[in-house]
Amino acid sequence: MRGSDTSENLLVRKMESFVRVSGDDIAALDKIWNGTRHSVAPQGDIVREGDPPGVIRVLMKGWACRYKLLGDGRRQIISFFLPGDIFDLNMFVLKKMDHSIRALSPVQYVSLSHIEFERLTIGHPRILQALWWETLVNAAIQREWTVNLGQRSALERLAHLLCELHVRLKVMGLVEGNTCEFPITQIELADTLGLTAVHVSRKLKELRSRCLIRLNGNQLQILDFDGLCQIAMFDANYLHLDREEAIPEAKADCG
Amino acid sequence: MRGSDTSENLLVRKMESFVRVSGDDIAALDKIWNGTRHSVAPQGDIVREGDPPGVIRVLMKGWACRYKLLGDGRRQIISFFLPGDIFDLNMFVLKKMDHSIRALSPVQYVSLSHIEFERLTIGHPRILQALWWETLVNAAIQREWTVNLGQRSALERLAHLLCELHVRLKVMGLVEGNTCEFPITQIELADTLGLTAVHVSRKLKELRSRCLIRLNGNQLQILDFDGLCQIAMFDANYLHLDREEAIPEAKADCG
DNA sequence: TATGACCAGTAACATAGGTTATTCTGCTCT
DNA sequence: AGAGCAGAATAACCTATGTTACTGGTCATA
């Protein structure tokens, strides 16, 4: 329904998913959303390890990821950024970035200086609260990824990641029916899940053959969300969607 | 030297490791440090998943951990809290805890209500900044654990964890020579590193036989920190110790 | 002084996932 | 239309780590 409307202000939608915002708040968010757009091609770095933290960025379109490289070339993807996600909020306290961020698909973002950020939050306490919430949910996601990598098997890990991404995209209105964009290669999945691309391929095949998902090219279709949740032992609590104004569709899918 | 002085205010030491604090700041921190002490026995839960976030806690003595249980009993330890660490700062924005916290050894902590916290930070901007820093470093540690679990082998993981704990304890003055308390069983190490206790035992043996560590009972001695760093590909950047007033000993050990 | 927990160590065996290599497909760039 | 390239699928084989089982040590409690 709203999912394909690329002009929708996802920043408003994100804030609304946390708190009730006023018309005045929305005007402020629209001003940010309509600021200068920056574009980055797939595989392009947005932030590099060692850089001084500069601005706060809001992802308008496309997917990005945080990642870290080890000395011998191994790479771990640490988190995904989806449209509407905010990154490097508060990071300006630190001197240097300890990781890099790169585009996974064609990306557009707007950026916000420290000053603009302060001006926004001082005038709009509800927005400040929503930004807090967003920050804490991101921390909770990072903890859940720790659990995922530490305890779950390859199949469970993969299923868990798909569940999480599906719910996060749904909250932002980016799932049509049960289908969403999925601009991620198997190599990237492998670097996310601590597996090899070969094994990701095997396990995707298994999910397909068990009629849980369909995945062609960039389109992911979730055929049996409950089944996936069960394999993954997915419990959406950590996404903290249980606020008063919770989005109903997002809750209905998984007990 | 100072390490065994249990009356030292570690909260001051922690803040000093981030920013230059005034005498007035120290007085405020002393008041907190001398508040009511809570004690918890080993294996005792301090916070349970599902609880409403209550107070902010500062660990005075002993070690604790965050953990999460899966439905079938698997457990992942998500982070360690060492003396002087602060937990659940800001958590009050959320409705429910998404994980539990438990004592690993006999623990003492002081707690701070939301109101007391606001009073402290409004009057002491340097402290607020240091608390920010602490929060961001904790997030960086969580990211590094993601890398650890996703990319490193069992031996590397174990070595990395020991390096991190050693540096963190050293910053707090809790390493005497090259020896520190280590009140962690092999089962707990296993649940931290995503391994089994049997395999932790094997890899500890390997570290011992390579003359990198000595570990008897609760005492851990790091015999060759550089060697450990090398195995682990440990790079302390993510701990963000490179502030102006950096603690010299903590930097010297690992390039 | 026995008894029972809990922890650490170790050995024999099992398996999930890694490694290497090959093929096929669909793109993009001439 | 053909060349070149990235991604995906799959097969054969390998190994790091898990599993199960037994031993002995230490400590608290009866």
pLDDT at A255 over 60: no
- Residues B1-49: pLDDT tens digits? 444 444 689 999 999 999 999 999 999 999 999 999 999 999 999 999 9
B232, B222 contact by CB (below 8 A): no
| The pLDDT value given to residue B88 | 86
Q: What is the mean pLDDT of residues B97-117?
A: 96
Per CB-CB distance under 8 Å, the chain A contacts of B96 are 237, 240, 242
Looking at chain A, the whole-number percentage of residues with pLDDT higher than 90 is: 87
Q: What is d(CA B253, CA B167) in angstroms, rounded to the nearest whole number?
A: 9
> Of A54-63, A64-73, B166-175, B244-253, which range is least confident?
B244-253
- Cβ-based burial of A11 (10 A; exposed 0-12, middle 13-18, buried ≥19): buried
| The pLDDT value given to residue A217 | 85
Q: What is the dihedral angle through the alpha carbons of B164, A149, B207, B1, rounded to the nearest 10 degrees?
A: 20
- Give A3→chain B minimum CA distance, Å: 28
Residue of A nearest to B70 (CA): A233
- Residues B58-98: pLDDT tens digits? 999 999 999 999 999 999 999 999 999 999 898 888 999 99
Per CB-CB distance under 8 Å, the chain A contacts of B74 are 151
Does A149 sit within 8 Å of B146, measured CB to CB? yes
Q: What is the model's pTM? A: 0.93
Calculate helix-pair angle for B125-151, A186-193, nearest 10 degrees: 110
Any CB–CB contact under 8 A between B18 and chain A?
Answer: no
Nearest to B95 among A72, A135, A242 (CB): A242
Any CB–CB contact under 8 A between B132 and chain A?
Answer: yes
- Residues B196-242: pLDDT tens digits? 999 999 999 999 999 999 999 899 999 999 999 999 999 999 999 97
Q: What is the mean pLDDT of residues B112-128?
A: 94
Confidence band, pLDDT 50/70/90 cuts, at residue B145: very high
Q: What is the mean pLDDT of residues A57-63?
A: 97
Residue of A nearest to B147 (CA): A76
